[in-house]
């Protein structure tokens, strides 16, 4: 895993200006690749690479790497590179290194874009063909590795993140109004947009080409097109899942440096650790917990899993003040404003883990692929809700909307979920999914940012398009497909990539091996989201059902019975405690008015609901505005730390 950047100028590059751009890009990429840096250029293209050495640690694996007319800069790992190399060798090709980088070069030389479906891995790479004066770039199936690019009049600039891309571009682009609205709607900027006008993310499973004929972006992988035959037999479903998952874990242990595992108290990472143990190895596990927060501290549960699988376990206890102390590093590591606050504990566990290993396996992707989130439960209940008499629905809605909400304890969390459910259960499937993703309503966004340029329904349009990528017409499969296409690359994988790589740590996600994902989408919805009777006889829903049954012999039943907890941070406590000064600065009405981006009155209302506003906190606890304020703080700190023209003054 590494950092990459580059520039194509088909009318020829300016070598003096380009050197400065390469230097600035490499300065940004240095945390991603502390083991070496390299550049290459000819008259029309310049490439940069910051290396984190994982496979073939010798200088021969350094990049950019050239072979004939082809030059590559590459970020990621190809887990089946040995098999692809053997196939290429059988076709008469020879190799000078033991690296997967050279396999990509030779594979592209042999098959062109036909190489991509042969790959099992996570990657973002660019290859310059000097003879054809053509750049091609590709990104892995589900967006584990980032690729950001900006078209120019006669070429493009690109990088592993927005800051490196803008360094190669030679300018800072202004904030895009639509992306800003999306940020406050869902707490991240969904792909293919970035926060910067005219800069885009190459979507997962896509490749691009840039030459004299122009810029083209095309899909090379589509989940719907990869559909397997439906698997309805329970025994086959379970055995097939075990086989594919264990193979995915084994592939991701291939490394010339030590490998660890992020371990929470939940099912997903526990299954990764159990798979490593089942193969006869000793897992090295790492977990983090916030002191003083029972709801958000999984250290005890993680330790129990570690003991069961015989892991070499490291536990990190985080006081609230420590979380505040690393915020500058967190927001600097994020190339665009990003308001999933679990980035903070992810940074902290990455920091501690990187002191002992260079590669870590994670449980990322399991929730989106196997229906682990509670919002999927609401989809299962929506049909029942719509059959209730209208007066009864209205009475329940009034009661739910009167509940206080928050994430500080289970009761407040239940109130938050109840409000979300009654607000959207009457709507169509796309509207329901949007409501669960949305942090702020259309009206609230209009008040904060002003009316949108279009109809304000960009999120619904994005969801509808993503749902159509499902290989199945099953309602749960369509919901999962949208989350795989939107939330997974935009939120979950962005968070892990940026925070791990800010600490020079490579993360690998076995649940996102295409063999596992495609098998999961071949299963009927009831194998993932299962209706059952709870202990007191009431009807209930069990997410990730097939994971619980297929791997029931590997972990204690207590692991499968635990209440789901996200890898989160006590945002309200941080904003009203250690980060209170930051929040007051970010929400100062005089500064906001001068900045001209946000309504001071809307922000003041959020502060009042948090209990720290000018209104004396009269609305405190009734509405949970902590996440809205965290989003605002995330934007303000990003703008400050990256010297954006939109920063507060």
pLDDT value, residue 399: 76
Of 539 and 520, the one with more pLDDT = 520
What string of H, E and C letters represents the secondary structure of 347-415? HHHHHHHHCCCCEEECCCCHHHHHCCCHHHHHHHHHHHHHHCCHHHHHHHHHHHHCCCCCCCCHHHHHH
Q: Please report which confidence band the pLDDT of residue 538 belongs to, taking 50, 70 and 90 as the band edges.
A: very low
Mean pLDDT of the chain: 91
Residue 539 confidence class, pLDDT cut points 50, 70, 90:
low
Q: Are 40 and 62 in contact (CB under 8 A)?
A: no
Rounded distance between C-alpha atoms, residue 459 and residue 181, angstroms: 10
Q: Quick one: pLDDT band at residue 645, thresholds 50, 70, 90? A: very high
Helix (H) or strand (E) holding 213: none
Topology (CATH level 3) of domain 225-370+486-561: Rossmann fold (3.40.50)
Record the tokens describing residue 285, joined without a space. Answer: 């596990």
Question: β-strands 312-318, 284-290: how paired?
Answer: parallel
Helix axes 458-467, 429-437, angle to 10 degrees: 120
Instruction: Give the closest residue to 492 by CA, choosing from 577, 366, 389, 604.
Output: 366
CA distances from 568 to 128, 299, 300, 407, 571 (A): 41, 13, 16, 10, 8
Q: Looking at the predicted structure, is the pLDDT value of residue 55 above 90? A: no
Percent composition of the chain: helix, strand, coil (DSSP 3-state, to 5): 50, 15, 35
Tokens representing 277? 């143990």
- State how far the Cα of 100 lies from the Cα of 77, in Å rounded to an integer: 7
Residue 366's Cα: distance from chain center in Å?
A: 12
Q: Which tokens belong to 569? A: 């941070």
pLDDT of res. 294: 58
**Secondary element (H or E) of residue 451:** none
Q: pLDDT (tens digit, 9 = 90+) per residue, 560-602?
A: 887 766 566 789 989 999 999 999 999 999 999 999 999 999 9
Q: In three state form, how does the secondary structure of 166-189 look?
A: HHHHCCCCCECHHHHHHHHHHCCC
How many Cβ atoms from other residues are within 10 Å of residue 237's Cβ?
20
Report how far residue 535's alpha carbon sits from residue 331's, in angstroms, rounded to the nearest whole number.
44
Q: Residue 535 has what pLDDT? A: 52
Q: What are the tens digits of pLDDT across the range 374-391?
A: 888 887 777 777 778 888
What is the end-to-end Cα distance of the chain in Å, rounded?
Answer: 37
Confidence at residue 89, expressed as pLDDT on a 0 to 100 scale: 98
Reference 385, options 420, 421, 414, 419; nearest CA is 421
Write b or e for each residue in 483-498: b if 16 or more Cβ atoms lie within 10 A of its Cβ, otherwise e.
Answer: bbbbbbbbbbbbbbbb
Residue 537 has pLDDT above 50, yes or no: no
Taking the C-alpha atoms of residue 139 and residue 116, their distance in angstroms, rounded to an integer, is 9
Separation of alpha carbons 121 and 70, rounded Å: 21
Examine the pLDDT at 115 and tell me if it is beyond 80. Answer: yes
**Chain center to CA of 5:** 20
> Residue 618 pLDDT more than 60?
no
Q: Give the span between the Cα atoms of 497 and 145, in whole angstroms.
A: 7
Residue bearing the bigger pLDDT, 626 or 418: 626
Cβ pair 345, 395 in contact under 8 A = no
Q: CATH 3.40.50.620 spans which residues of the chain?
A: 225-370+486-561
Q: What integer pLDDT is reported at residue 387 of this predicted model?
A: 78
Where in the sequence of the chain do the CATH 3.60.20.10 domains occur? 2-221
281-317: b (≥16 Cβ within 10 Å) or e: eebbbbbbbbeebebbbbbebbbbbbebbebebbbbe
pLDDT of residue 567: 63
Write out pLDDT tens, residues 411-442. 666 767 777 777 777 788 999 999 989 989 89
Residue 401: the pLDDT is 75
Name the H helices within 283-342: 299-309, 320-325, 327-333
Residue 404 near residue 577 (C-beta atoms within 8 A): no
The tokens of 136 are what? 């091609």
Q: At what angle do helices 626-641 and 600-610 cross, to 10 degrees?
A: 120
Distance CA 100, CA 85 (A): 8
Instruction: Average the pLDDT over 286-293 and give the result.
Output: 76
The pLDDT-based confidence of 548 (bands split at 50, 70, 90) is: very high
Residue 340's pLDDT is 96
Tokens 């990869």: give the residue.
Answer: 226
Give the per-residue pLDDT at 620: 54
Determine which of 18-32, 145-159, 214-228, 487-501 has the lowest per-residue pLDDT on average: 214-228
CA atoms of 639 and 379, how far apart (whole Å)? 38
Q: Judge contact between 155 and 127, C-beta under 8 A.
A: no
Q: Three-state SS across 137-161?
A: EEECCCCCCCCEEEEECCEEEEECC
Please give the angle made by the CA atoms of 636, 642 and 646, to the nearest 5 degrees: 50
56 phi/psi in degrees, rounded to 5: 55, 80
Question: What kind of fold does domain 2-221 have according to CATH?
Answer: 3.60.20
**What integer pLDDT is reported at residue 227 of this predicted model?**
80
Q: How far apart are CA 572 and CA 407, in angstroms?
A: 8
Crossing angle, helix 374-387 and helix 475-485, to 10 degrees? 140
Length of the chain, please?
A: 649
Alpha carbon distances (Å) from 623 to 420, 459, 593, 633: 12, 23, 25, 18
Determine the Cα–Cα distance for residues 16 and 5; give it in Å rounded to an integer. 17
Alpha carbon 134 to its chain centroid, in Å, reads 30
- Torsion (CA) 374, 380, 381, 383 in degrees, nearest 10: 150
Q: Locate 435 and state its tokens.
A: 């409501």
Q: How confident is the model at residue 534 (pLDDT cuts 50, 70, 90)?
A: low
CA-to-CA separations, 621 to 349, 406, 422, 584, 607, in angstroms, rounded: 30, 7, 19, 19, 11
In the chain, what percentage of residues exceed pLDDT 90? 72
- Summarize pLDDT for 305-357 with one digit per residue, the tens: 999 999 999 988 877 778 889 999 999 999 999 999 999 989 998 998 999 99
């Amino acid at each position: 895993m590494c950092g990459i950047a580059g520039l194509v100028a088909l009318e020829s590059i300016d070598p003096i200006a380009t050197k400065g751009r390469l230097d600035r890009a490499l300065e940004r990429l240095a945390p991603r690749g502390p083991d070496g840096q390299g550049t290459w250029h000819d008259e029309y293209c310049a490439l940069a690479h910051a290396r984190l050495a994982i496979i073939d640690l010798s200088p021969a694996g350094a990049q950019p790497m050239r072979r004939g007319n082809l030059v590559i800069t590459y970020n990621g790992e190809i887990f089946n590179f040995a098999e692809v190399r053997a196939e290429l060798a059988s076709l008469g090709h020879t190799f000078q290194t033991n690296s997967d980088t050279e396999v990509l070069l030779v594979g592209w030389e042999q098959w062109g874009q036909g190489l991509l479906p042969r790959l099992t891995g996570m990657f973002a790479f660019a290859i310059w063909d000097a003879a054809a004066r053509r750049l091609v770039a590709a990104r892995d199936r589900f967006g584990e590795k980032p690729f950001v690019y900006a078209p120019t009049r006669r070429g493009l600039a690109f990088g592993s993140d927005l800051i490196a891309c803008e360094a190669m571009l030679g300018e800072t682009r202004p904030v895009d109004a639509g992306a800003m609205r999306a940020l406050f709607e869902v707490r991240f900027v969904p792909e293919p947009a970035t926060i910067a006008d005219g800069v885009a993310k190459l979507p997962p499973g896509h490749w691009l080409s840039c030459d004299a004929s122009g810029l083209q972006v095309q899909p090379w992988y589509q989940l719907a097109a990869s559909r397997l035959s439906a698997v309805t037999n329970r025994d086959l479903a379970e055995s097939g899942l075990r086989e594919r998952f264990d193979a995915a874990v084994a592939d991701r242990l291939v490394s010339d440096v030590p490998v660890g595992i992020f371990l929470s108290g939940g099912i997903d990472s526990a299954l990764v650790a159990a798979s490593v143990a089942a193969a006869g190895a000793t897992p090295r596990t790492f977990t983090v917990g916030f002191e003083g927060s029972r709801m958000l501290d999984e250290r005890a549960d993680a330790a129990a899993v570690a003991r069961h699988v015989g892991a070499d376990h490291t536990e990190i206890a985080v006081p609230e003040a420590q979380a505040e102390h690393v915020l500058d590093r967190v927001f600097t590591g994020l190339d665009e404003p990003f308001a999933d606050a679990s980035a903070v504990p992810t940074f902290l566990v990455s920091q501690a883990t990187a002191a002992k290993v260079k590669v870590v396996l994670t449980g990322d992707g399991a929730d989106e692929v196997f229906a682990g989130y509670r919002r999927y439960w609401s989809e299962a209940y929506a049909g029942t809700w719509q059959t209730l008499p209208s007066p009864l629905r209205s009475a329940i809605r009034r009661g739910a909307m009167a509940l206080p909400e928050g994430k500080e304890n289970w009761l407040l969390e239940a109130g938050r979920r109840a409000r979300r459910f009654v607000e959207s259960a009457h709507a169509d499937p796309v509207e329901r999914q949007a409501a669960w993703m949305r942090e702020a309503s259309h009206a609230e966004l209009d008040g904060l940012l002003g009316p949108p340029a279009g109809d304000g329904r960009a999120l619904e349009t994005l969801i509808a398009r993503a749902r159509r990528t499902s290989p199945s017409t099953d309602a749960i499969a369509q919901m999962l497909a949208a989350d795989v296409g939107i939330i997974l690359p935009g939120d979950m994988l962005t968070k892990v990539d940026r925070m791990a790589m800010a600490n020079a740590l490579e993360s690998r996600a076995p649940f996102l091996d295409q063999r596992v994902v495609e098998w999961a989408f071949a299963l009927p919805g009831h194998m993932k989201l299962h209706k059952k009777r709870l202990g007191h006889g009431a009807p209930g829903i069990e997410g990730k059902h097939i994971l619980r049954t297929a791997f029931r012999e590997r972990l204690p039943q207590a692991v499968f019975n635990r209440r789901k907890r996200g890898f989160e941070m006590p945002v309200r406590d941080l904003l009203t405690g250690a980060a209170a000064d930051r929040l007051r600065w970010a929400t100062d009405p005089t500064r906001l008015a001068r900045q001209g981006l946000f309504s001071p009155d809307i922000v003041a209302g959020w502060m009042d609901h948090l209990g720290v506003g000018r209104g004396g906190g009269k609305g405190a606890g009734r509405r949970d505005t902590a996440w809205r304020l965290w989003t605002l703080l995330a934007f303000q700190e990003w703008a400050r730390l990256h010297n954006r023209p939109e920063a507060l003054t």
